[in-house]
Structure 1
Amino acid sequence: MDIYERILGGLFGVACGDALGGTLEFMSEDEIQRKHGYLKDIIGGGCWDLEPGEVTDDTMMTIAVAEGILDNPENPIEDIGNHFIGWYDSSPKDIGNIIRIALSEYKRSDDWTKTAYYAHQTTGGKSAGNGSLMRCLPVALYYSDVKKMLEITASQSLLTHYDRKATDACQFYNLLVYDYLNGKPKVPAIREHIDNYPEYKKVFLMLKNELEPSGYVFDTLICALWCFVNTSSFEEAVCEAANLGGDADTVAAITGGLAGVYYGYDAIPDRWKEKILVKDQLVSIAKRIIVKYRSQG
């Protein structure tokens, strides 16, 4: 599979999962069943009153990370932060509590070294949310040097999330994205890295009814990995993730990013891709990322 198809698949995977899951945000599985049955179409609505194909903070912050990297690949963190602030200043419908606190602190202090720790303190040490995991995928799409990729993955997380669990989840996730970008098989790639993140090993032993689609980064990544491992297509993986309810947009976006890189852009249903309102931005980002690969031969 062409690497461009995997890059585009990852970006659209995040957006499609986000747009599908946004309808089901904060609902329980029972509530979803009563209202939607098993949702398989991007219809908007939900608690954010979304337009069909409208995305939330998951996709918009993913775009911000990508744009920051493309602005300044060698040292992108300040640029990523600037794109976060540009998005924050647009008064988005959906912004996570930890990120809201961190970005408001940056607006006060103008100092990125203070933001994540301030949010960590303000939340009573509960800064292991999934808000840095949901946006980290572009780092793995851009950097071909693994050491650099892991360094930037951690740094973008630490702009807002002080807890090491958030950093670890981002790095584990991006190692998998990196491997799938380079054509590695699904489960062997997970098994190759999971010894370094042993708390996630239980994903292979869990039943679906044991999943907890909460905003805690560990729960979110467990849900995403489970849905990815226990399905055999992009659509099936993302539908399983979204229909868990809870933090549905983020769980589905993270699942979609992984599945999109693995299965590729062509595996994403056309009826989803065509609805994404930011699709032109995603295509533009993918085209600019692929220039780097082609210039390297």
Structure 2
Amino acid sequence: MKTTKIHSALFGVAVGDALGVPVEFKSREYFKNNPVISMQEFGTHHQPKGTWSDDSSLTFCLADSLCKGYDINDIANNFVLWRQEQLWTPHGRVFDIGIATNFAIHSIESGTKPLLAGGTSERDNGNGSLMRILPLLFYVKDFNITKRFDTVKEVSSITHAHIRSVIACFIYIEYALFLSEGKNKEEAFERMKEKVTDFLTNNPICSQAEIDKFHRVLENQVGDYEIVKLAELKEKEISSSGYVLSSLEASLWCLLNSNTYEETVLKAVNLGGDTDTTAAIAGGLAGLLYGYENIPQEWINVLARKDDITKLCDKMSEKYEIHN
């Protein structure tokens, strides 16, 4: 099978997601005695082995829409179809949905325009847009940085419109862009920090206080405190909750402290908490870094709707990899 970076990214997300589904909400202490080392079944959501969650469902909904081109209304409609008609569910049923995402989709169903549907308060900063944003990379990869940011902002805002969620998605896409260009994880991280910091500080997008929220990711000085190196933080300093900034930090930390796809996603799952989403976010980056062929085949083989995911990747690759 001929694979592209799109296969690497989307399967990277789904495999990480499926590893985390059976143990979602388990504590970090639980994993000290019961570490996840392979695909499991049943557990938290009582799903068969290889089942992915809303993280992958919404990722596939976005990718599916992008196969036709960029249309924010069509992307939002796919999200509605997922909740209403089980589009891109692993087994024909939605079994997990975030509060903010659920509320936004309901607003769209009620007639709210997609760009106005996402929550805008500080409390609306769960990881629901970050977990599904990766397919957008292949549409925006040749844009200038301002257009990339504006497009990421639109797609995040369907469900999560607060600037913190938007910046988290933007950082993730910028890092993914450098990884997709073949840079190693350290060089890509350094380039991302430089580009994002320059862009955020030279454009009237948000306050300095908001930029400072990302100081552990961008490794920027905040007040008189020493600069924190994300990769050097101890595990106990990494949160794996559903807060968007925690999810971004945790996924990057896992990638920077691992040397294979397998190690990255298992490290993410074994952090506990929002296991499926942390592993999905980290897994997408790890897929880009290490390639589809380095995702364990036994994990791919048990993945729900594996053939449908492959067809989706083929279709998206035809539009964004082969023709561009």
Q: Tell me, yes or no, whether TM beats 0.5.
A: yes
Per-residue deviation, residues 190-210 of structure 1 (Å, max 9, x unmatched): 111224355212313311121
Deviation larger for 190-199 or 7-16: 190-199
* Structure 2 equivalent of residue 128 of structure 1: 125
Q: Does 1:291 align with 2:318?
A: yes
| Aligned counterparts of 2:153 and 2:280: Cα–Cα separation in 1 | 19
Q: Do the aligned partners of 1:19 and 1:44 also contact (CA within 8 Å) in 2?
A: no
Q: Do the aligned partners of 1:103 and 1:160 also contact (CA within 8 Å) in 2?
A: yes
Q: Does 1:63 align with 2:60?
A: yes
Cα displacement (A) at 1:153: 2.0
Cα displacement (A) at 1:149: 4.0
Q: Does 1:179 align with 2:178?
A: yes
Cα displacement (A) at 1:295: 2.3
* Structure 1 equivalent of residue 280 of structure 2: 253
Counterparts of 1:231-246 in structure 2 under 5 Å? 231-246=258-273
Q: Do the aligned partners of 2:9 and 2:284 also contact (CA within 8 Å) in 1?
A: yes
Stretches of structure 1 that go unaligned for 5 or more consecutive residues are none
Q: Which amino acid aligns with 2:5?
A: R
Q: Do the aligned partners of 1:24 and 1:32 also contact (CA within 8 Å) in 2?
A: no
Distance 1:291 1:190, change over 3 A: same
Counterparts of 1:1-297 in structure 2 under 5 Å? 4-34=3-33, 37-71=34-68, 73=69, 75-89=70-84, 90=86, 92-116=94-118, 119-120=119-120, 125-147=122-144, 148-195=147-194, 196-197=196-197, 199=215, 200=217, 201=219, 202=228, 203-292=230-319, 293-296=321-324
Q: Which of structure 1's runs of 4+ aligned residues deviate more than 6 A?
A: none
Q: Which amino acid aligns with 2:60?
A: I
Cα displacement (A) at 1:284: 1.4
Q: Do the aligned partners of 1:42 and 1:53 also contact (CA within 8 Å) in 2?
A: yes
Give the secondary-structure state (helix, strand or coil) at the position aligned to 1:62.
Answer: helix
Cα displacement (A) at 1:222: 0.5
| Aligned counterparts of 2:101 and 2:283: Cα–Cα separation in 1 | 22
Q: Do the aligned partners of 2:6 and 2:313 also contact (CA within 8 Å) in 1?
A: yes
Q: Do the aligned partners of 1:62 and 1:136 also contact (CA within 8 Å) in 2?
A: yes
Per-residue deviation, residues 40-73 of structure 1 (Å, max 9, x unmatched): 11112222111101110000000011011112x2
Q: Do the aligned partners of 2:269 and 2:279 also contact (CA within 8 Å) in 1?
A: yes
| Aligned counterparts of 1:239 and 1:166: Cα–Cα separation in 2 | 25
| Aligned counterparts of 1:222 and 1:143: Cα–Cα separation in 2 | 23
Identity of matched residues, %: 32
Stretches of structure 2 that go unaligned for 5 or more consecutive residues are 87-92, 198-213, 220-227
Q: Do the aligned partners of 1:139 and 1:149 also contact (CA within 8 Å) in 2?
A: no
Give the secondary-structure state (helix, strand or coil) at the position aligned to 1:146.
Answer: coil
Using structure 1 for the length normalisation, give the TM-score. 0.91
Q: Report how many aligned residue pairs link the two structures.
A: 286
Distance 1:104 1:241, change over 3 A: same
Q: Which amino acid aligns with 2:259?
A: S
| Aligned counterparts of 1:66 and 1:239: Cα–Cα separation in 2 | 25
* Structure 1 equivalent of residue 224 of structure 2: none
